[in-house]
Amino acid sequence: MRFVDRVTADGADGWPVEAGRYRLVINRACPWANRTVIVRRLMGLDEVISLAVTDPIQELIAGEVHWVFTAETGSPGGLDPVLGVHALRDSYLKRDPDYDGGVSVPGLVDVPSGHLVSNDYDQLTLDFGSEWKRFHREGAPDLYPERQRDEIDSVNEFVYRDVANGVYRSGFAPSQASYDRAVRILFDGLDRLEDRLTRQRYLLGDHVTEADVRLFPTLARFDAVYHGHFKCNVRKLIEYPALWAYARDLFQTPGFGDTTHFDHIRRHYYGVHTAINPTRVVAVGPDPAAWLTPHFREQLGGSPFGDGTPPEPPPAIDRVPVVVPL
């Protein structure tokens, strides 16, 4: 991760908070990008930071795969209507013409210059929740309360190491031994989360925090792609009573399910990882409508936003297909 400038209220890095100036480039299949869109929604920054969505299938350009804009994701003619570029890499190169590294999403781009500001997905969500406060909607939650930061950081470190990154270490393991080790650590981690969430509604207790935002995208992708495609098949998410109910609770909370695009998730993972799926055949299940079944987590008490309120529905341009109830 090379581009780690911050957009701050005081503009200390040269990038001041300013409505309409920045564009968040994501892919809806990417769990790290999904996190930034969730926080953008929860804080009410939909109209303040514009959203650009790349195609679920990366395009081969000069021998390398790239996140590109297509008509399917709102870019007629293959150019993002705001940035005027075909590939996110163009914004990397505007910032540094000599850049020859990889390109990742999410990316926060300065619209006037076209320069990439940051691809630091961890810091982006924290800054959306703190540095952009003067543009937060009324009732926006505090996802990173100061009194809980040490515990949130500890949970986040564990979730990333053993679970969120654990599915990738399992799926791309180069040997049987490394796979066996990775998948054991992954399911040990899921077992720990199951135990924790049996006793409380959210990871830190009664309200949603940054920790829940970071875990949810992995759970949303688990049965759809990680279980089969990444060989994480010791158990399915639906076989964990507390984790599955917790995941449904979050999915049915504004900001989570309405930023989750199951079609893009399946098409991306099965379509681009040709080393582990050379046929590029895309699995059709599981039925996403199961995410709308009752979860009963309210019986544990608490509420998602504490003293805050849920965000309004996303603007039409940002909406994903609605899941139809069973």
Distance between CA atoms of residues 136 and 303, nearest Å: 20
160 is catalytic: no
Helix (H, G, I), strand (E, B) or coil at 231: coil
- Among left, alpha and beta (phi > 0; psi -120 to 50; other), residue 269 is alpha
Distance between CA atoms of residues 120 and 257, nearest Å: 23
Q: Phi/psi of residue 174, each to 5°? A: -85, -5
Strands 107-110 and 64-66: unpaired
**Residues listed for the chain:** 326
If one counts every other C-beta atom within 10 angstroms of the C-beta of residue 276, the result is: 13
Among the options 99, 160, 168, 179, which is catalytic? 168
Among the options 30, 92, 232, 270, which is catalytic? 30
Q: Tell me which residue of 122, 298, 120 sits closest to 210, measured CA to CA.
A: 122
168 is catalytic: yes
Distance between CA atoms of residues 281 and 45, nearest Å: 37
Q: Is 15 annotated as a binding residue?
A: no
Active site residues: 30, 168
Binding-site residues for glutathione:
67
